Amino acid sequence: MKQEFTLSIYSENHVGLLNQITTVFTRRHINIESLNTSESAIPGIHKFTIVVFTSRDQVNKLLGQIEKIIDVIKAYVFTTDEIIHEEVALYKVKTESLLNSNEIERLVRQYGARILEVTSDYTVIEKTGHKADTQELFDKLDNFGVSQFVRSGRIAVTKLKEELLSNYLKKLEKQKSLLD
Amino acid sequence: METKTQPQTKEANPMKKQRMTGSEAVMQSLLHEGVDLLFGYPGGAIMPIYDALYHYQDKLNHVLVRHEQGAVHAAQGFARVTGKVGVCMVTSGPGATNAVTGIADAMVDSTPMVVISGQVASPLLGTDAFQETDVVGITQPITKWNYQVKRAEEIPEAIAKAFYIARSGRPGPVLIDITKDAQFAQIDYEYKPVEKVRSYTPATPTKKDKVAEAARLINLAKKPLALVGQGVVLGNAEKELKTFLEKSGIPAAWTLLGLSALPTEHELNVGMLGMHGNYGPNVKTNESDLIIAIGMRFDDRVTGNVQKYATNAKVVHLEIDPAEINKIIYADVPVVGNVKESLPMLTAMVSENEHTDWLNEFRVCDKVENQKIINEELFPSKKGMTMGEVIRRVTDSYGDDAIMVTDVGQHQMMASRYFKFKNTRSVVTSGGLGTMGFGLPAALGAQMGQPERPVCLFVGDGGFQMTIQELGTIFQTNAPVKIILLNNNFLGMVRQWQEMFFDKRYASTELVNPDFQMIAKGYGVAGAIVDDRDNLDAAVQQMVSHDGPFLLEVKVEKEGNVFPMVPTGASVSEIRLE
Ligand SMILES: Cc1ncc(C[n+]2csc(CCOP(=O)(O)OP(=O)(O)O)c2C)c(N)n1
């Protein structure tokens, strides 16, 4: 059965890693639904957040191949209910449409969005939320003409009490100090 | 699995920090890793390194090949027979792209190797400069790790890391691309071997509970079958394997790359798995109630149709690479770790056993295979010579103690079936990639790695011509490689498929060949040609007693076929005997 999975991949911050990671997906013809890269809470460690729609068996195989990449420290996979996740969307509309009726402002309030910038020509609206919500807002705003729309990749943190990566790094330290 | 660590040479780095160029740092670093032999080909972007090599010729033997693909295959041959890291050097652009096939081959066959490529000077990177290619990009999916060095200071650490990664865990090829300006620049050289990399775990410690679970299944099994892969050889675990098998009494079949992990004549050795493997291990896979896979990865040439594979068996999988677990075949009990560690743990927990009846079932299969295939292949009733009879004659002449190198095709399968092994690390063949042209340079590398052991290359008339120029390297080094050219005037393996699956439409598989003897002569390689069975013995004797390289060309039956065969898409139990 296919379902949505979110992968959190922690790595050294090296050039070319993104390419190495995405190759694992493209080789197996698995579409990346969303991708985000950023720093993690731990200095020097980079985090990739990738969303895929596939089977549990397949996602485990992906995980195995990703962890094989030398510069990848650790990768985890989560189902959607195991994480808190968000995406950010930006909508650019004509300021004229904003002024012509109250509807846009009403939508902004209703959807918990906010107005980032208003110029005489255009207005930029921002909304943070799940994909369905940002999409819904797009559909509504588009009645007034959205000239640009963009949604970021998913970002996510786990609902777990313990921190998987820090625990893993501690374990690693212990194992490797045994080697010394 | 840590392959043998190479000894540190005393000459390297007498003082702590020395001022030197990046190129000299490459030399020093190689010496530190115990390298004394490397294969390569110079060019513009790697000239500073070759210039440094000029001053290190007494310590570093550089073998000048005739094509960069040859350098890589030679390094692979060297690595496979010695357990050390093979090293090669190529220039940027076409030099590096010529190396690609060999690197891909080493990747699928887990061969420890370090490739050093020259690169255009760093200010020119990304400008389509002369002989600039993005080698790091090109080789990214076919290396275990790769890295571009743009500053000379990075050289010692990059090389140290390269060797560590190449040889540890599941071994593989590593490429280090060094820009020309980094080769020229001066640094304060200091070498620290790398022993850990935070993001990389070569092997995880074996879990005792998994071993116990595996032992429980083994002790219950009525028809267990062990599948022996190259992991045993890479882990130097041949003795551990033997002890395990002998205590548990479990029949063992080997994969193509698992050949020679156990002596051929060992009573528990039931032969080769896979498409052209032996009858017994293939059909018995589907009767077995427990498969114990040891350092192997269930390649599709081994499994045939996976849906119909090992249908009655539970699977225990001993494997160093966690990504191999459940990749193809679900493992009821995965035992992740080095087999060198897990096998003794398992041996301690299994009960002594003899599976006499089960083993006898294999003997019955052997009888069938002997009658239907092997007898005719080894002692043909027809006039035409078979590959099998030549191979058996050669292996017998060396008392089953030669190193077998093959190219790819029918002769490869025949050699794997009929060559006999006494000692481990006696096989060099291109398994996962099936690279024609692999054989000749790999044989050279194997011979240079094991100068005291006889090296026999079996090669077809097709593959021979893919890297035939390496006869030049053999001539120059005088490496006493024995080349057995099984000439059927066809791209035999493809022709066999055309015969069986394409109604004998022999599209572009018949070869009009040159006079191979004359070519060999041109390269100063002695030779003999045999087209009649009556002359075979004498010619083999002439080859064996010849001191130096030799080309034994045998005109074999043009349309001979390799059997048994598991046709693509069929189950291993549907193996065809004719
Ligand atoms: C580089 C490369 N190209 C093509 C193939 C496909 N192929 C596999 S076996 C074979 C025929 C090999 O013929 P030959 O070298 O004469 O050996 P034989 O099968 O006759 O023993 C071919 C073309 C390959 N394995 N490698």
Here the CATH number for the domain that contains residue B354 is 3.40.50.1220
Contact indicator for B116, B26 with CB cutoff of 8 Å: yes
Task: Could you list the beta-strand ranges (E) of B94-198.
Answer: 113-119, 145-149, 173-179, 186-189
Residue with tokens 């000379």: B152
Boundaries of domain holding B239: 208-362
Looking at the structure, tell me whether residues B144 and B173 fall in a common domain: yes
Q: Verify cis geometry, omega within 30 degrees of 0, for the bond prior to B480.
A: no
For residue A101, what pLDDT is reported?
Answer: 87
CA separation, residue B98 to residues B90, B130, B139, B301, B468 (Å): 9, 16, 11, 27, 15
Q: What ipTM does the predicted assembly reach?
A: 0.90
Q: How many angstroms separate the alpha carbon of residue B385 from the centre of ligand 1?
A: 20
Out of B199, B322, B326, closest to residue A73 by CB = B199
> Do B451 and B329 reside in the same domain of the chain?
no
CB contact under 8 A, A70 and B198: no
| B407 Cα nearest atom in ligand 1 | 15
The answer to whether residue B182 scores a pLDDT higher than 70 is: yes
CATH number at residue B127: 3.40.50.970
Q: Which residue of B has its CA nearest to A58?
A: B327
Q: Nearest-CA distance from B141 to chain A in Å? A: 7
B345 shares its domain with B387: no
Q: Please say if the pLDDT value at position B4 is more than 50.
A: no
Fold of A2-84+157-168: Alpha-Beta Plaits (3.30.70)
pLDDT of B487 above 90: yes
CA distance B362 to B341: 29
Q: What percent of chain B has pLDDT over 70?
A: 97
For this structure, is B180 an active site residue? Answer: yes
Nearest atom in ligand 1 to the alpha carbon of residue B492 is 20
Same domain, B392 and B493: yes
Determine whether the interchain pair B199/A71 forms a contact, defined as Cβ–Cβ distance below 8 Å: yes
Question: Higher pLDDT residue, B288 or B15?
Answer: B288
Q: Give the pLDDT confidence of A42-75 residue by residue, as tens digits.
A: 999 999 999 999 999 999 999 999 999 999 999 9
Contact A179 B199 (CB under 8 A): no
Q: What Cα–Cα distance (Å) separates residue B18 from each residue in A20, B12, B79, B179, B190?
A: 36, 11, 31, 21, 7
What is the average pLDDT score of chain B? 96
List chain A residues with CB under 8 Å of B173. none
CA torsion sign for B397, B398, B400, B403 is negative
Question: Containing H/E element for A156?
Answer: strand A155-158
- Judge whether residue B265 has pLDDT over 60: yes
- pLDDT (tens, 9 = 90+) of chain A, 180 residues, equals 999 999 999 999 888 899 999 999 999 999 999 999 999 999 999 999 999 999 999 999 999 999 999 999 999 999 999 999 999 999 999 999 999 989 999 999 999 999 999 999 999 999 999 999 999 999 999 999 999 999 999 999 999 998 999 999 998 888 767 655
B358 and B240 belong to one structural domain:
yes
Largest CA distance in chain B: 71
Q: How far is CA B521 from CA B233, B517, B550, in A?
A: 37, 6, 10
Residue B166, pLDDT above cutoff 70: yes
Q: B197 to chain A: which residues are within 8 Å by CB?
A: 70
Distance (Å) from the alpha carbon of A160 to chain B's nearest alpha carbon:
23
Is B74 contained in some domain?
A: yes
**B194 domain-assigned:** no
| Same-domain pairing of B184 and B228 | no
Annotated catalytic residue: which of B6, B131, B476, B517?
B131
What pLDDT score was predicted for residue B566? Answer: 97
B574 catalytic residue (yes or no): no
Angstrom distance (rounded) from CA B395 to CA B101: 30
Q: Do domains A2-84+157-168 and A86-151 have the same CATH topology?
A: yes
The full set of domain ranges for chain A reads 2-84+157-168, 86-151
Q: What is the rounded distance in angstroms from the CA atom of residue B571 to the CA atom of residue B310?
A: 9
Token pair recorded at residue A33: 């639904």
C-alpha dist (Å) from residue A91 to A118, A131, A135, A157, B228 = 12, 14, 11, 25, 60
pLDDT confidence tier of residue B17, bands split at 50, 70 and 90: confident
Q: Tell whether B183 and B212 lie within a shared domain.
A: no
Q: Can you tell me the distance from the alpha carbon of B158 to that of B442, in angstroms, rounded to the nearest whole number?
A: 26
Please indicate, yes or no, if residue B498 is contained in any of the structural domains: yes
Q: How far is A104 from chain B (nearest CA, A)?
A: 47
- Helix/strand/coil for B505: coil
- Specify the DSSP class assigned to residue B437: T
- Pair B180, B214 in one domain: no
Is residue B73 within a helix (H) or strand (E), and if so which, with residue range? Answer: helix B68-82
Closest CA to B514 of B524, B504, B529: B529
DSSP alpha helix (H) spans, B304-428:
339-349, 356-369, 375-378, 387-397, 410-418
Under an 8 A CB cutoff, do A70 and B199 touch? Answer: yes
Closest residue in B to A23 (Cα) is B141
pLDDT above 90 (res B8): no
Residues with CB under 6 A from ligand 1: B 407-411, 434-437, 460-463, 486, 488, 490-494
Dist. CA B9–CA A170, nearest whole Å:
36
pLDDT digits (tens, 9 = 90+) for B207-258: 999 999 999 999 999 999 999 999 999 999 999 999 999 999 999 999 999 9
User: What is the rounded average pLDDT of the residues B73-85?
Assistant: 98
Quote the number of domains for chain B.
Answer: 3
Q: Which atom in ligand 1 lies closest to the alpha carbon of residue B414?
A: 21
The answer to whether A72 contacts B141, with C-beta atoms less than 8 Å apart, is no
CATH number of A86-151: 3.30.70.1150
Amino acid at A107: L
